[in-house]
Each structure stands twice: as C-alpha cells, then as structure tokens.
Structure 1
Amino acid sequence: MSYTFLYNYYILSLSVGSLIALIAGVVVFVNGPKRLEKISWFFLCASSAIWSLGYFFMISSQSHDIARLANLVLHQGIIFIAFFYPLFILSLTDSYKKHKLLLLTLSLSVIVFSTLNFSKDFVTDVIPKYVFNFAPEAGSLYKYFTIYFFTSIIYAFFILFRSFVTSLPEDARRFKFILLASIAGFLGGGSFFFLTFNINIPPVLVILVPIYQIIITYAILRHNLFNVRVIATELLVFSIWVFLLVRTILARSLQDALLDGGLLVLVIFFGILLIRSVLQEVRSREEISRLAEDLRIANVELKKLDQLKSEFLSLATHQLRTPLTITKGYISMIQEGTFGQVPQKIRDVLSKVYLSNERLISLVNDFLNLSRIESGRMKYNFEQMKAEQLVESAVEEFKELAKEKKVDLIWKKPSGALPEVMIDKEKFHQVLMNIIDNAFKYCKEGHIEVSMSEEAGRGSSDKNILIKVKDSGVGMTREELDSIFKKFARAQSGSKVNTEGTGLGLYLAKRIVGDHGGEIWAESEGHGLGSTFKIRLPAKGEEVSKQVQFKEFVEKI
C-alpha cells in the first residue's frame, strides 16, 4: 500500500472513531435513566474520543510542540480508559460492590499515571515513525503503564466472562457480544502500543475501535432486543460502508471515485433494507414471545378461576344435597302411608314431585362429581360384586317413569351367570341412572331395552361384561356420536326433544367408566332410528378374589 493511502486510512479511522465515540457516549447518556452503567459508558466514550483526537492531531501535526501537547492529551485519554472500562464492566455486571479494592486501586493509579504523564521518563519525545508525522517514544516508566493498562483491561474481561458463564441466557448473550466486541476494540486500540515500543507491527486494526463502540452502544440501549442476527447484520453492513467510504475518499482518479461512490450509495440503500428486514423479523419474534407469555399468564389465571369454580360447585352442591335428600325421605314416607292414608290425586302429584326431586338429586350429584374430578378429589370404593344386581336395581327405579311416559322398559336378564366385576357401587349406579334416564329423555314412545352379556377379552383368558341400553328414540348423526361425551355437549336432535339436559351426565359417565378400566360409547343408524349405549367392563373375578383374600390376611395379622 502507498504511503498516502495508509496515512489517509489512519487519519480517517481516528477522526471517524472520535466522532462515533462522542455520539455513542451522548446517545446512551441522554437515553433513559442515568444508571452507573450509562454514566461510566459515557465517560469511557469521552476518554476514547480524547485518545482518538489526540492521536489524530499528533500524527497529522506539522509542529513538534503541537504534537507533544497532543501526546499528553491522548495518553490522558488512555489513562482514563484503563479506569472507566473496568468501572463500566463492574456496573454492567452489577458487581462493583464486590470489587471496592479494585476501584480504589484504579483510582490511585489514575492519579499516579496522570502525574507521570508529564515526565520524560514516561514518554521521552514524539518523533516521526511509520507513516506518521509524529508518534510517541516510550520512556523507562512506560512499560509499567503498559502492564497496568492491559492488566486492568484483561481483568475486566475476566469479570465479564465469569458473568457470561453464570448468567441467565438473555444476559449471557448480551455479555458474550460485549466481551467479543471489547476484545476486538482493544485489539484495534492496543495495536498502537507496538509502535510506541518501536515494534514493527502497524496499527491497521484501529478501525475496530468505532465498530466496537457501535455494538456496545446498541447492546446497552436495546439489550431486551439484543439479537445475534441483528448484530451480525449491522456489523457486516457497517463494515462494508466504512470500507467503501475509505475507498471513495482515497480514490486515485475521478472515475474510481464515482464508481466507488455509486457503489457506496447502492450498498447503503440495500444495507438499510437488509437491517430493517432483520429488525422486523426480530420484533415479530419478540411479539410472538410476548403474546406467548401473556397467553401463559392468562392460562394460569384461567386455571385459578376454574379451581374457584370447582370449589364453588362443590360447596353449592353439598348445601343443596341435604334438603333434597330430606325432601325425598318425607315424600317416600307419605307415599308409604306413614302419616296416614293419602288420596290417589295427591299420590299422583307426589309421584311427579318425587321424580322431579330425583332428577334434581341426580343433577346435584353430577355437579358434585364434576367438581371432584376437576379438583382431583374423586375417590372410589371398589368392591367385588355381580353387576347384574346393580343393573336390575337401576331398571326397577325407572318402572314408575316408564308407566307415566307409556314407554316399554324391558330388562333382559342374562341367560347364565356372569363373571363378577370390581366396581364402586355408588358411582357405577349413577352411571347407569344417567344412561337410562338419558334414554327416557329422548324416547317419547316405543321401548327401552336394557341387557347384559359376557364377551371375550383381548387375552385368551380375559372376559368382559357388556351392558347395553337400547332405545327407539330420536337417534343421532355420526358428528353427534363423536361429541356427546364431551363436557356440556348435547346432540342437536335431542335438544329439540328435551330441554332439561345439562350435557354433564354422559361426560361424567365416561370419566367414571374409564376409571373402572372400562369403555363407554354410543351407536346409532341416524335420525329417528334410535340409539344404543354400550358399557364394557373387564371381569376380574379371580384376580379380585386373590386381592380380597390377601387384604383379609393382612388385616388378621
């Protein structure tokens, strides 16, 4: 490279660097609350600007005296950088309270080296070096300052790296890029030390200093939006801009200048579009992340409300259950003649009241079981028994309703003995009542047939009990068959015939049968062709007998 090109490159890098440093410091300082992190960054940028301007005037000066004065200024800037950069890192990582001794040492070092800056043992003189008009010549004490400078900076790197390792992912990502940007920046600025000690390594990396300041400024102002892709994109685009700008300024001919200038304009235009698109993508992702967090919070609140609803249902149903049970008892006593003979007209009315009360009790039990299931407090008392006894008992309870509605209720007893099953008598009785009552609701005339049979299980020795409740009612479509076992769901065709249902009975029946290890489903050929509800329970007679015998044996011990 030619002398002129290199000289102009350093002049441009230092002047642009000082300007960017001032802008970076001021922008951060005036934006938002004045935290120690922002204050220390402002003074660090000011120190960097002093160093850049001092070097600029020294290497471009034609006067030895001005160059000597500029040397004092630039080294004062370096002395302050060695203090404010560790302070910035300590405030950034919120660890300055743990490093009070370090801050005291740095403060004393600033005083000592600021005093030595005026001594010829620090910098003996400024003389022509490399492509510069003047550059500092190290004195006998300068090596101690160099050790101090890099020790303080490297220790700050160590603090930042430790915070990066131990922090949460969002902060760790921020610390990582600040660390990488800092290393790049100090490689650029620190490369001038070689020239001071007459080591033949030119400071060509000086362009990294303003880039490092841009990255850290962005990280401070927008650490909540700090993103790998954004930083990488901006760094790439800014680097290309600076490179083309330098080429345009240092062009050897008008034609080259116009070509590089035109290319710079195009790259600026498309670079802005690229950065905007990446930022838009980042904002979209953050918006999605924010909405997801809002949704999570809303879901937590909904679960709390659902829990409160379940507790309210449990309390309300407990309070309703007692008076309804008492009412049922008194009606039964009146019907049985406990309080004397009752006229037939009153008996008919009492029968209707009794049936309505039974439905209310069933509804209250449904809500009570719903609250227990949703709160995880549903308890079962399983016992070994013949299921046909329970089914026959449930059918008997609907004989009066069948007479009233003029519906034939048919109980087809199994031809032979069926295997015993393990069931909760009370809970399964409620399932049967819901299924049979459901058949009556949607069967205005015709018949309801309840039957039981034995069928083979999956294994060669497994057996199942199959309970069927078949009616000649309104029937259902395929879509309705898929949805009737959902909470608060009702078939459209059935809701026109009967408006009393809540859509809970079948939902609870499915949950209870499922907890028994069984299955429940419905079948229908379509509207007007009736429905068949089937319950399949695993027969575990032998296994249950062994469990009961073992339990009795343990209790005897």
Structure 2
Amino acid sequence: MVFDADIINILIATVAVLNTLYGLIVFSRNRKNTTNQSFFFLSLAVSSWGIAMLFLRGAHDPDLAVWGARALYATAALIPFASVYFARLFPEEKRFLSFFEKNIVPLPFITILIITLLPYGGLIEDVTLTQGAEPSISFNFLLHSVYILFIVGYFSWVYVILFSKLLKTKGILRIQLTYILIGTLATTATGVVTNLLLPYFNIFTFNWVGQIGVLAMITFILYSILKHHLFSVSVIATEIFVVVLELTLFTQIFIAQTLQERLLATGIFFGSFVIGILLIRSVIREVEARTEVEKLAKKLQDANVKLKELDKLKSQFLSIASHDLRAPLSSIRNFMSLLLEDTYGKLPPAAEEGVRQVFGRATEMAQMVDDYLNVSRIEQGSMKYDFAPADLVKLVSESVEGMKANAEQKHLDLSFYVPSGIQKIPIKADVGRLREVFNNLIDNSIKYTPKGSIKVFIEGGESTARVVIQDTGVGITEETKKNLFKLFSPGQFSRKINPSSTGVGLYVVKKHVEAHGGNVWVESAGEGKGSRFYVEFPITLTPGEATVHKFANDL
C-alpha cells in the first residue's frame, strides 16, 4: 500500500487530524464529563472513517482494497451509532447509561458491523481498482439496502432527539443546539449523498467528499463557541494556536522530500501534539480555578448581603424588644423607689434590703435596655444628638458625685481633680449622651476595682480637653484591649467578675464620643495593674478666653 500525497488525501488527513485534535481538546476540559466523553467518541468515529478512506485510496492490491472498503463502511456505521449517544447525553455533565442505552441501542450496530466485516457473503463483495479513478465497490444488494436503512434510521433518530431538546430549551443551550444541528445536518446531507446514494448507483467519483465534509460540523461548533463565548477566551485562543501549529507541522510531513525528513517531521508533529494537549489542559485548569474563585466570591457577596439583612433585622428586634421592656422596668423602679422612700410606711429592715436589691437590679436592667436601644439606633443610623454649649468640668463633676454612693458601698475612694484656676471648660455636646459616657466609664471602674481608689481628672491644652478615669482594679490584657470597644466583646475575664456584662456599654461609649468629634482609648500595664481610660474632646474657646483656660498636662 502506497500513500499518494494528492490534494484529496491531504485534505482527508488534515480533517481527520483536526477532528481528533478538537475531540481531545473537548475531552481534556473535563474527562469525567459525560457530554465530553460522548463527543470524543464521535470525533474518533469520524476520524477513523477518514483514515479508512485513506487506506482504501492507497491500496494497490485488490485484496487490501476489499479490506479497506470493509473498514470504510464499518467506521461509517460507527458515526450514527456514536451520534445517538452524543445526542442523548448532551448537555449532561454526569449521567449513567440506562439499560436500554447499554444493551439495546448497540444491537443493530453490532449486526451491521458483522455483515460489513464478513469476508464471505458480507456487504462488500469486491473492489475494482482503476488507474486515475476512485475504487469501485461491489455490494450485496440486500445487505447494502439494510445498511442504508440503518444509517438513515439512526441519523433520523439523532435529529428527533436534538429537535425535541431544542424545543424544550432556552438561552445559550438553545443556541448551542441550533449550531450543532446546522453543522451535523450539512455533514449528514453531504455524506448520505456522496457515500450512500451515489455508490448505490455505482457512482464512486465523489466517495471521498463526506470525509472532508465533516469539517462543516467542526466549523459550526467552533463558531458557536467563539460567537457566544461559551468557553473562556484564553482557552479558545490557546486551542486555536495549538490547532494551527499542529496543522502546519502535519503539512510538513507531506512536503518532506526524503524519508529521513518525513520521519523527523512525523516525530516533531507527535511531540508537539502531546505538548499542545498538556498546554491546553494547563490553561483550562487555570481558568477553572479562576472561575471557582469567582463563584466563591459571588457566594461570599451573597452571604454578606444576607448578613447585612440579618443585622438589620437584629437591630430592629433590639429596638422593638428594648422599647417594650422599658415600660415595665420603669414601673418596677418607680414602685420600688416609693417603697424605699417610706411612701407606704416604714419597711422592716429585711424587706427594705430586698426592695433595695430589686431596685438595683431593675436599674441595671434599665441601663442595659437603654444600651440596646442605643445600639439599635446607632446601627440603623437613627441616633440623634442635641448639641449645645456645655461645661465639661460640670458634666464630669456631676457624674462623679452621682457614682460616689456606689463606690462607698465597695469601700472605694472616688475622687475628682481639676487643675487649679480652671472653673469651666466649654464644649459643644449632647449633655445627656456625654453623661452616659462618663457614668458608664466610672461605673465600670467601680465594678472592676475590688479595692483601692478611682481617680477622675482633666488634662489637656488649648484645643483639646482630656478626661482620665484611673483605677487600681483588675487591669486589662493586651488581647482584651484589641476588642474592648467592639460590640458584644466584654472579654472572658470581665464576665468572671461581672456575669451580667454584655459588651454593649463601651461600644456605645465609643460611638457617642466619636459623634462629638472626640476619641476614647484605654491603657493598662496588664492584669492586676489597674487601667486608665482616656476621653478626649475638642474644646470651644473664644479668643478672649484662650489664656484663661490653659491647664496643665499633669497633676
């Protein structure tokens, strides 16, 4: 057998290589994908049909030509058989074959394969070789008719499947099916005429056209991918580069003048073929990884939106629940206050102590409710501040005086220091909110100071005023300081001393101070070494007051 490098053989070989390469490219995208597997099977069937035609056209011995004809019609029967599976499985990513697909669909094909390859009494009876003409094949008339019915029947089945899917789908999938139908219809129409009907009437002049006509199917599928961006542009660009390179190297095999050059060109072709497939797979993996990251980012974005919605619902719940709790707590506190003031008569000592404890707990709960309401308003952006001229010295002094009773109950020394000569520090503030700030900070120092003292003093300069609350309490670790002013972050050590701590108070303090253009922070040498809370505000001075209100940085 001699391979003649005429234009027809070169075209058939080129299309066979191109079709195999495209099948490998699709298969390498995801080898476990059912559609990819079925398409690869189909591409191999079409390529083997082209190779069988090359074998027949290159045969110069009648016996070899007969086997070439048998191989040609056996591989041709494989195409509609493979097409049925592709049509049934497309576009499934993972699907197992049914009993019908495994055991019934192959039976007609196996029958056709047997009668095609039978050496005696089969489909092919003889082949006539004529110089300058296509091989002429003699058929068993009855078996040839059965063969044609099989080809037409299976291809008709393929189009029934594809058209039924086309009617049920929308969007990109519908576009894919449309182009696949156009390409395969063109290929089938060409092949049926040139490779079935004309040979039926002993016309073999165009028996090779079908092997080249399959290029239409590849072209339309490629067009659908490029036109509608069904795959990544970078992957497509890599595939086109590899295909062009392989076709160029494949052509070099036929252009080579000597056997040595032809062998070298063949080796280079197969080597670059393997490298090209590996390159495409590498690009596909990179694209898939990027796609996965994009999916995760989208999921994270969706989760973030849901979290914001939940956070909003939480704030609304806090607002409603806190508002509903205020009324009964106010009633309890008012009634307990009346009892403690002997409005209903003198209480026995034991009863008075019990009422005092109830009053204290109700007061704590009322403060917690106010904190939750503040959190809700802050997070919803509905917190309102009534800024007006105020005196920082007076504000802090009143808070200290109001907390002295609590300090005395724990036998703590609570004192307030103002630099000499300072009577007033003017600031613009919401007096009620700042009173909450100082009450909260001083109350915390009392709670977390088992023994010793708490000093509150003011320091600063011409443009800022700084209030410092210093205690000899339990101190704060570096780890706790990082989250101290965050919502619901009281710290584990704080919970041991004050189980009712919610981690809300200091969060509200920070937001109130920041709303006044100030800053709040804490310093501590560590656990058991006390702490210093700093609250800094801008002060408002007239030019005439500037020299009057200077005060020392240290006491």
- TM bin (shorter chain): 0.5 to 0.7
Question: Of 207, 216, 221, which aligns to 2:223?
Answer: 216
Residues 504 and 43 (structure 1), Cα distance of their counterparts in 2 relative to 1, 3 Å cut: closer
Aligned to 1:398, the other structure's residue is in SS state helix
Aligned to 1:262, the other structure's residue is in SS state helix
Residues 246 and 289 (structure 1), Cα distance of their counterparts in 2 relative to 1, 3 Å cut: same
Task: Report 1:233-272 matches (<5 A).
Answer: 233-249=238-254, 251-272=256-277
Residues 5 and 256 (structure 1), Cα distance of their counterparts in 2 relative to 1, 3 Å cut: farther
Residues 253 and 214 (structure 1), Cα distance of their counterparts in 2 relative to 1, 3 Å cut: farther
> Equivalent residue for 2:106?
none
Aligned to 2:473, the other structure's residue is in SS state coil
Question: For residue 333 of structure 1, what is the amino acid of its counterpart?
Answer: L
Question: For residue 287 of structure 1, what is the amino acid of its counterpart?
Answer: E
Deviation, 1:270, is: 1.4
> Equivalent residue for 1:41?
179
Return 43-52 or 231-240, whichever deviates more. Answer: 43-52
**Partners of 2:315 and 2:380 within 8 A in 1:** yes
Return 487-496 or 507-516, whichever deviates more. Answer: 487-496
Task: Report 1:459-470 matches (<5 A).
Answer: 462-470=462-470
**Partners of 1:15 and 1:56 within 8 A in 2:** no
> Equivalent residue for 1:426?
432
Matched, 1:451 2:438: no
Matched, 1:516 2:522: no
Deviation, 1:401, is: 1.6
Q: In 1, distance between residues paired with 2:238 and 2:327?
A: 72
**Partners of 2:325 and 2:369 within 8 A in 1:** yes
Deviation, 1:51, is: 9.0
Deviation, 1:509, is: 0.4
**Partners of 1:249 and 1:257 within 8 A in 2:** yes
Residues 14 and 429 (structure 1), Cα distance of their counterparts in 2 relative to 1, 3 Å cut: closer
> Equivalent residue for 2:293?
288
Q: In 2, distance between residues paired with 1:216 and 1:346?
A: 91
Q: TM (normalized to structure 1)?
A: 0.63
**Partners of 2:176 and 2:224 within 8 A in 1:** no
Residues 530 and 40 (structure 1), Cα distance of their counterparts in 2 relative to 1, 3 Å cut: closer
Gapped runs of 5+ residues in structure 1?
75-188, 190-205, 457-461, 546-557
Gapped runs of 5+ residues in structure 2?
24-41, 47-79, 92-164, 546-555
Matched, 1:474 2:487: no
Task: Report 1:53-452 matches (<5 A).
Answer: 212-213=219-220, 215-216=222-223, 218-219=225-226, 223-224=229-230, 226-249=231-254, 251-413=256-418, 415=420, 416-452=422-458
Q: In 2, distance between residues paired with 1:46 and 1:330?
A: 90
Deviation, 1:41, is: 1.9
Q: In 2, distance between residues paired with 1:521 and 1:530?
A: 14
Q: In 2, distance between residues paired with 1:369 and 1:402?
A: 26
Residues 39 and 521 (structure 1), Cα distance of their counterparts in 2 relative to 1, 3 Å cut: closer
Q: In 2, distance between residues paired with 1:358 and 1:393?
A: 19
Matched, 1:535 2:539: no
Q: In 2, distance between residues paired with 1:207 and 1:256?
A: 30
Deviation, 1:492, is: 4.5
- Superimposed CA distance per residue, residues 110-160 of structure 1 (whole angstroms, 9 cap, x where no aligned partner): xxxxxxxxxxxxxxxxxxxxxxxxxxxxxxxxxxxxxxxxxxxxxxxxxxx
Residues 241 and 207 (structure 1), Cα distance of their counterparts in 2 relative to 1, 3 Å cut: farther
- Superimposed CA distance per residue, residues 20-55 of structure 1 (whole angstroms, 9 cap, x where no aligned partner): 899699698652342553454234324653798799
Q: In 2, distance between residues paired with 1:211 and 1:232?
A: 16
Q: In 2, distance between residues paired with 1:38 and 1:495?
A: 63
Aligned to 1:378, the other structure's residue is in SS state coil
**Superposition misfits of 4+ residues, deviation over 6 angstroms:** 14-22, 50-57, 206-211
Aligned to 1:476, the other structure's residue is in SS state coil
**Partners of 1:470 and 1:530 within 8 A in 2:** yes
Q: In 1, distance between residues paired with 2:192 and 2:358?
A: 102
Q: In 2, distance between residues paired with 1:410 and 1:223?
A: 75
Q: Percent identity?
A: 33
Q: In 2, distance between residues paired with 1:292 and 1:213?
A: 34
Q: In 2, distance between residues paired with 1:423 and 1:334?
A: 36
**Partners of 2:494 and 2:501 within 8 A in 1:** no
Return 313-322 or 236-245, whichever deviates more. Answer: 236-245
> Equivalent residue for 1:88?
none
What is the CA RMSD across the aligned residues, in angstroms?
3.9
**Partners of 2:187 and 2:214 within 8 A in 1:** no
> Equivalent residue for 1:163?
none
> Equivalent residue for 1:127?
none
**Partners of 2:315 and 2:379 within 8 A in 1:** yes
Q: In 2, distance between residues paired with 1:330 and 1:375?
A: 33
Q: In 1, distance between residues paired with 2:372 and 2:259?
A: 89
**Partners of 1:463 and 1:539 within 8 A in 2:** yes
Q: In 2, distance between residues paired with 1:402 and 1:463?
A: 32
Deviation, 1:501, is: 1.3
Residues 463 and 350 (structure 1), Cα distance of their counterparts in 2 relative to 1, 3 Å cut: farther
> Equivalent residue for 1:95?
none
Q: In 1, distance between residues paired with 2:499 and 2:322?
A: 22
Deviation, 1:385, is: 1.6
